[in-house]
Amino acid sequence: MSGALTCSAADLSALLGPNATAAADYICGQLGTVNNKFTDAAYAIDNTYLLFSAYLVFAMQLGFAMLCAGSVRAKNTMNIMLTNVLDAAAGGLFYYLFGYAFAFGESSDGFIGRHNFGLKDFPTLTSDYSFFLYQWAFAIAAAGITSGSIAERTKFVAYLIYSSFLTGFVYPVVSHWFWSPDGWASPFRSADRLFGTGAIDFAGSGVVHMVGGIAGLWGALIEGPRIGRFPDGGHAIALRGHSASLVVLGTFLLWFGWYGFNPGSFTKILIPYHSGSNYGQWSGIGRTAVTTTLSGCTAALTTLFGKRLISGHWNVTDVCNGLLGGFAAITAGCSVVDPWAAIVCGFVASLVLIGCNKLAELLKFDDPLEAAQLHGGCGAWGLIFVGLFAREKYVNEVYGANQGRHYGLFMGGGGKLLAAQLVQIIVIVGWVSATMGTLFFILKKLDLLRISETDEMQGMDIARHGGFAYIYHDNDDDSIQLPRVPGSPAV
């Protein structure tokens, strides 16, 4: 704890007269006790803050589940809900056994961690159980992103395999590179930082969103589009989700959880920037919540009017995706930019999402939740945004002053930070493509990836999970015959 109380019996004894040594020892002992209490309180406050943030990020899984359920057709609701549950469950075990060690264990080469498998020798001087829980919540968020891209046509065993591999190996390696003090591109390195600065990805536009988005991109590409999405290779047909209500509910839950995702990434709250003042890390946390909010709101409104001009409709699903795209973009720089810059971030993020969706349609790429475009495209823009708009004062507060930190190009900081951000984009695309692309290709060759045409037309709920989530009939699909109750009229 900074600013700890100190006491020297030798200094005090000269001021206390007779029995000075005993009195000085007593006073110093009492001050030491008080100082320990303050230190204990600081640790408790910081750990409570981090645990609360972890709970918020974990609550985002409920948001993902609702968003995914509303975005697919009713006949696949149980399937997509189950995959969201298993992302958390399988991810918990594999991140405990391997992922955390790969991500935050010590390394000599900056590539991958090698200690604390199964949380052996834990907690440490720098990490407690609250930190593990927080990082696990991030890992399963990445897996949840990917599940949306390959929804409605993927075998259940493929979900188990890819989710375990992503949370246990692929994602942890990337987080080690950019978040561990040992990572080769981490801004937390004490020396030999990439371009003298390291890549700034505060809460994971690249580490979480691009990893999940690029993994989903390869999964959807290798599987191919859903039946009926591009009939006979022609014009795209919208296979709309069955519940806009669930989409909106999921969006608001994700919005709520993002206040743990971004502000929570400080991991500590009780750090003064200037001792004795009202300005400290708590101020940075508040500013981060504001920048997060402004980016999402701007992206939502830009998408609303942009899609209105393109399609002629006020589409709530598009607005929800635009909002989430703004959040995904600001996640990298939320702590190091001014609120006005967050508005720029959200505006451009909306345009990026609209452009990526148009490109996906032209290329006949089918992603039911637009997850690859949203998280991959907007996440990449978020990394570039940091290299342009990061402010020197905030960079020094968050990552440490007196370290020769570089900051945004448009803020007068030169181009080295932007170069580091571009390197991050390139290596994430390369790493995730090499690992997850290969995995999905192998699953396809082993016939473990895509369900049969019959099962896909019938719906995965009835074909693979024993029934429907609820009695519902998709208007665009006449292949499903709902079970009749004896004595009821024919449908």
Contacting residues for 71 by C-beta, under 8 A, at least 6 apart? 148, 151, 241, 247, 317, 368, 369
pLDDT band at residue 3 using 50, 70 and 90 as cut-offs: low
Q: How confident is the model at residue 36 (pLDDT cuts 50, 70, 90)?
A: confident
pLDDT, tens only, 5-19 = 566 555 555 555 556
**Residue 277: pLDDT band with limits 50, 70, 90:** confident
Model pLDDT, residue 258 = 97
Non-local (6+) Cβ contacts of 176 within 8 A are: 102, 103, 104, 107, 110, 111, 112, 113, 182, 183
| 387 and 370 Cβ atoms separated by less than 8 Å | no
Within 8 A by CB and 6+ apart from 172, the residues are 95, 98, 99, 100, 101, 102, 103, 112, 113, 139
Kindly indicate the confidence band of residue 64, based on its pLDDT and cuts at 50, 70 and 90. very high
In 3D, which of 167, 200, 124 has the Cα closest to residue 384? Answer: 200
* C-alpha 130, offset from chain centre: 17
For each of the domains in the chain, give its residue range(s) and CATH number, in order of start.
52-465 (1.10.3430.10)
Within 13 Å of residue 267, how many CA atoms lie on the same side as its CB? 15
- Each residue's pLDDT tens digit, 87-126: 999 999 999 999 999 999 988 789 999 988 999 988 887 7
For residue 474, pLDDT beyond 70: no
Per-residue confidence (pLDDT) for residue 237, from 0 to 100: 87
pLDDT for 488: 44
Binned at pLDDT 50, 70 and 90, residue 132 comes out as very high
- What is the structure's pLDDT at 490? 45
Query: What's the whole-model pTM score?
Result: 0.89
Residue 105 neighbours by CB distance under 10 Å: 19
CA-nearest of 365, 383, 373, 375 to 427 is 383
In 3-state terms the chain splits into helix, strand, coil percentages (rounded to 5) of: 65, 0, 35
Partners of residue 272 on adjacent β-strands: 280
Q: Is the pLDDT of residue 1 over 50?
A: no
- What is the rounded average pLDDT for all residues in the chain? 89
In the beta sheet, which residues pair with residue 280? 272
Higher local confidence (pLDDT), 481 or 198: 198
**Cα distances (angstroms) measured from residue 101 to each of 43, 45, 47, 91, 119:** 23, 26, 20, 14, 8
The pLDDT score that the predictor gives to residue 191 is: 83
Instruction: Assign residue 408 a region (left: φ > 0; alpha: ψ between -120 and 50; beta: otherwise).
Output: beta
At 220, is the pLDDT very low, low, confident or very high (cuts 50, 70, 90)? Answer: very high
